[in-house]
Chains A and B, each alone.
Chain A
């Protein structure tokens, strides 16, 4: 097999294998967070690939989280049903508002999704009987698969990892398929594509709904893992996190957010002792990425490989 596939396989082996080598609950906990972050960052990545920066992804994650929680706690549904249901609900919402929102491009779309995200956050805060308000919902039951409850961080890690793998493959598949070709052509020259009979809007809505679905799934895992939900976990700063992951990791390929998450998610924990400088480091990193490595780590690595190939 090609060296690239070998490396990817190696990565997968390491990802599945290391929790058995480093048996540390705290490190595994970070692993779970990386997994959840990667999934939701990949959802944002999909939108970025079609040229739309959706600032509502964090709110979508929140919708998935609260939905899954309420389905399990209020309706007594098992996690195995609540989990996909959460994703589907968010996808449905995205599909409904998509046709209106996606008519708008560029910075207006960003502002629009930003307003939507903030509005959803306010609803989480204010609809207290349903969402628990500012202090949220605690005591969320652990997720369980086929009757076995997932109690250790390690079990959640593997679940999140599986989710990441699936999301990654979907992202890869979508953009390599005919759909991807259509979307690329829309990105290049929309009018020409439309003149060829491509319904631009419905393709974009599809991606929007898919990204909502994945963000919702990530939210569900987050809720049942941490056992606690509050509106601030799904606000603007979370969106910044996933945006930074995309920018630093690289947008043009799904491996970008993966790399970005692996690098950025553990950062606050590593910098815990110098807490004042945590945020500053974050900002400087982001700045450097934009100024010196605009296509992210993934893009940089790609250029490196191309240079190695050409004599």
Chain B
């Protein structure tokens, strides 16, 4: 039995080893799903922040006041589970001494760590789509990019202008979770506002892969436009493919989380042809391609366009830290975002600080909304929407 106490003691001691504390290091945390569903979004967050940090370090470090800091990125996997996001946040704040965290990427994770962020005054820059993520009750939480509530209306406007005038029947599909409900409500309102008739709406369980039952129901209403909302890109791809198999010939749009490559992978080149996406970035832009090459060298994988937003977000944070003149006073830093923005994105567009009208507090980074169309197995930006 003494053996047991020994083991217990060793394990507890190992876990309690203090992490090396470098005087001139600025630690930035990243929490996102790095394995399992949603992994490409978490990896995009980590990748963007890491590339930005590397660039700054290569140029000598981040100069704040009269000290120069080496930027160190600490990424943790939330596995798309709220409880794991909480553990990750605890570890970053209490064990690693981090004051600035990118993420959690998931909405559930972000809501779960709200209290920790507020209580410990840790600045969070989240990727959550939920409208509850930005709230006046926690001024330390920001969002790194435009979300559906920001770009949905511009996109619907764009659709109205660019699709045939007689195509007025729209069907909306969303997953059955909070992001999906928000999207369902928002899209229904917006489509009605711009003169569309919402002929069918469906909410499906996240684990479903066979959409033929719900598509059968939807397509019976003969829509001209099918919006796959906030369905995860791979699932959206399956919906696209199965819809085409069932004979659907109308347009397909995704006003929600972006991932056209996954759509192409899951749907196949032919079925995915013509699908309209929200794009956070223009892949033909030379700066984009430079970033994609850097990412490929670093990780061996294809870059997700969202990485650009996290990359820009990292530079915005660092600019805010410099404007505040401190790496530890998070109140000063959060107030300095108003000075760091508007910021010129690496792709050339302008990122503004906003959100007061929608969320009650100006804590959202509003990024450029690109419209992309899948053509011949690739995605092409055809314009922007505002």
Which residues on A are within 8 Å of B, measured CB to CB?
Answer: 3-4, 7-8, 10-11, 14, 18, 22, 24-27, 29-31, 33, 125, 133-136, 138-139, 226-228, 230, 232-233, 255, 259, 262-263, 266, 269-270, 272, 275-276, 297, 301
Contacts and interface: CB of A to CB of B under 8 A. Distances in A.
A262 B11 contact: yes
B55 to A, nearest CB: 24
- Chain B interface size, as a band, is 35 or more
B11 A263 contact: yes
A191 B181 CA distance: 55
B15 A270 contact: yes
B82 A136 contact: yes
A14 B9 contact: yes
B31 to A, nearest CB: 12
Q: Give the dominant DSSP class at B's interface.
A: helix
B378 to A, nearest CB: 30
B11 A233 contact: no
Contacts of B177: 133-135
Given A27-B12, A133-B177, A301 B112 contact: no
Interface of B: 1-5, 7-9, 11-16, 34-35, 76-77, 81-83, 86-87, 90-91, 94-95, 107-108, 111-112, 114-115, 130, 176-179, 181, 205-206
A29 B206 contact: no
A270 B10 CA distance: 12
Contact of B5 (A7, A25, A228, A276): A7
Q: Give the dominant DSSP class at A's interface.
A: helix
Contact of A262 (B2, B7, B107): B7
Contact of A133 (B35, B77, B178): B178
Given A7-B1, A11-B8, A226-B83, 10 more contacts: A7-B5, A11-B5, A14-B5, A133-B181, A135-B130, A228-B112, A266-B12, A275-B34, A275-B35, A301-B1
Contacts of B179: 135
A30 B115 contact: no
Given A27-B16, A134-B178, A276-B35, A139 B7 contact: no
A22 B12 contact: yes
7 contacts: A27-B12, A29-B87, A133-B177, A133-B181, A135-B107, A230-B82, A230-B83
Contacts of A259: 4, 7
Contacts of A272: 76-77, 91
A64 B179 CA distance: 26
B86 A228 contact: yes
Contact of A26 (B4, B34, B94): B94
A255 B5 CA distance: 12
Given A14-B9, A134-B176, A228 B206 contact: no
Q: Of A8, A22, A30, A33, which is in contact with the most chain B CB atoms at under 10 Å from its CB? A: A30
B188 to A, nearest CB: 18
